[in-house]
């Protein structure tokens, strides 16, 4: 494995967590349609696996944000780079994120999406680092709570790299 990587969540553990969230969403929206809105780029692997675990009429859309800061820390300013193209009014929307960390990104996106008047807005985060929270937000669906470690793989990056690792790994530069 490249660099200083230690597996935190293996591909089979990830698949189990994704399947569990898929079942929860399938149950919560039984008989209805959902729009899955993935936050680029980190959530694209999670969304593609999650979508196949949801047994509902589902469509996809994507949104992209940038948060300023260093490569491992958000500086608290979130900017919209790409908006959804689907009208969300009166729709069931599930926002799909790789990780809920400080909560700044989700707070920003929640405000933005609620202004579109969806029927429901739920938030699915594969990973949750509760100890890092700066905003009072939580996800409706969480795959795994993880400690305060910087992780890469399965969509998550360090300076745009390592998104394609099949497992979620703790990454550290010191070696």
Q: Which stretch binds ligand IMP (CB under 6 A): 12-20, 26-34, 116-124, 149-157?
A: 149-157
Give which of 32, 12, 50, 77 is closest to 141, Cα–Cα.
50
Cα angle 22-23-26, degrees, rounded to a multiple of 5: 85
> Residue 108 CB, nearest distance to ligand IMP (Å)?
8
Query: Does 98 contact ligand IMP by CB under 6 A?
Result: yes
Query: Does 95 contact ligand IMP by CB under 6 A?
Result: no
- Hey, which residues between 31 and 50 contact ligand IMP (CB under 6 A)? 42
Query: Does 128 contact ligand IMP by CB under 6 A?
Result: no
Question: Cis omega before residue 129 (within 30°)?
Answer: no
Query: Does 74 contact ligand IMP by CB under 6 A?
Result: yes
Identify the active-site residue in 101, 128, 157, 174. Answer: 101
> So which residues are the catalytic ones?
101
Binding positions for ligand IMP, rule: CB under 6 A: 42, 67, 74, 97-106, 150-152, 156
């Amino acid at each position: 494995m490249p660099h200083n990587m230690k597996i935190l969540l293996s591909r089979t553990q990830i698949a189990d967590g994704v399947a569990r969230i898929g079942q929860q969403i399938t149950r919560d929206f039984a008989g209805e349609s959902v729009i899955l809105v993935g936050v680029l780029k980190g959530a694209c692997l999670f969304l593609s696996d999650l979508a196949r675990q949801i047994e509902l009429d589902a469509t996809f859309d994507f949104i992209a944000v940038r948060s300023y800061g260093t490569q491992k820390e958000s500086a608290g300013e979130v900017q919209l780079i790409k908006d959804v193209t689907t009208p969300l009014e009166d729709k069931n929307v599930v926002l799909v994120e790789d990780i809920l960390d400080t909560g700044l990104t989700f707070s920003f996106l929640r405000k933005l999406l609620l202004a579109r008047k969806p029927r429901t807005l739920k938030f699915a985060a594969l990973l949750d680092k509760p100890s890092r929270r700066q905003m009072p937000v939580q996800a409706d669906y969480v795959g795994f709570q993880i400690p305060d470690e910087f992780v890469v793989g399965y969509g998550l990056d360090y300076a745009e790299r390592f998104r394609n690792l099949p497992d979620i790994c703790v990454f550290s530069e010191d070696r």
